[in-house]
Amino acid sequence: MRKRIPQITRSDAAWSSGLSIREMAGAGIKPPSAPTTDTAHGCSSGVQPTDTPISAGPASHERQSPITHTIQIDIRVTALARQHAAITASGIAPPQIIRAALRKAAKSWRPQALYVAPMAAERCRERAWMIRTSLAVPEAVFDRIQAKQDPLGVCSRWSLLRGQLEPLVWQEIDWLLKRIDGVQDPHDGRA
């Protein structure tokens, strides 16, 4: 015999204020409505009225602006073989340098709906240096790349976007190594 789980119907605003709209819906709770003012009696619900509309949380924001759906892409990056000696000589743990470069590259990367083949460069073979993480990519961009390059869906997501992101990571590694070494290109505008 299965135990029946009671449905939570508590409408206490103080209790439910910490829950997200999705959690409230899953628990059968109605999200708290915006405060109201009874103008006939001059009473308010504790909040002064303002000229700007009050947002009811994420749900009302989703209706106002178009949603950009994203998908998570699992990525694996490493340094180039030519960068191996400089990374080792830097005195900083290699995974830290690669992770820092990946973070900087990911901030500036704008995925394009165009397949770029991965570069035929020799990558570092040290498995301990490989950084694994995931990035959010607009679903529409990925769908266009997949439709043209991999219509049967047999390739990994990372293999379809690797050619766009890896060169940016390698550039950032080069820049970090110059900065660590104390040599900065005078034409490079970074601080």
Say what percent of the chain tops pLDDT 90: 48
Residue 99: the pLDDT is 95
Q: Locate the domains of the chain by residue range.
A: 70-181
**Contact between residue 173 and residue 97 where contact means Cβ atoms under 8 Å apart:** yes
Residue 141 near residue 112, CB atoms below 8 Å: yes
The string of pLDDT tens digits covering residues 146-175 is 999 999 989 999 999 999 999 999 999 999
Q: Map residue 119 onto helix, strand or coil.
A: coil
Cβ-proximal residues to 96 (8 Å cutoff; 6+ apart), any chain: none
* Whole-number pLDDT of residue 181: 82
pLDDT greater at residue 191 or residue 148: 148
> pLDDT per residue over 126-141, tens digit each?
888 999 999 999 999 9
Report which residue type is found at 167.
P
- Which residues, 6 or more positions from 116, have their beta carbon under 8 angstroms from its beta carbon? 163, 164
State pLDDT tens for residues 12-43: 555 555 555 555 455 555 555 544 444 444 44
Q: Which range (6-10, 73-77, 146-150, 176-180) has the least confidence?
A: 6-10
- Hey, which residues does 75 pair with through a beta bridge? 133
Give residue 20's pLDDT: 53
CA 125 to chain centre: 28
Could you tell me the end-to-end alpha-carbon distance of the chain, in angstroms, rounded to an integer? 67
Position with higher pLDDT, 171 vs 9: 171
**Per residue in 107-128, pLDDT tens?**
999 999 999 999 998 999 888 8
Q: How confident is the model at residue 8 (pLDDT cuts 50, 70, 90)?
A: low
Q: To the nearest whole number, what is the mean pLDDT of the chain?
A: 75
Q: pLDDT band for position 182 (50/70/90)?
A: confident
Phi, psi of 38 (to 5 degrees): -90, 100
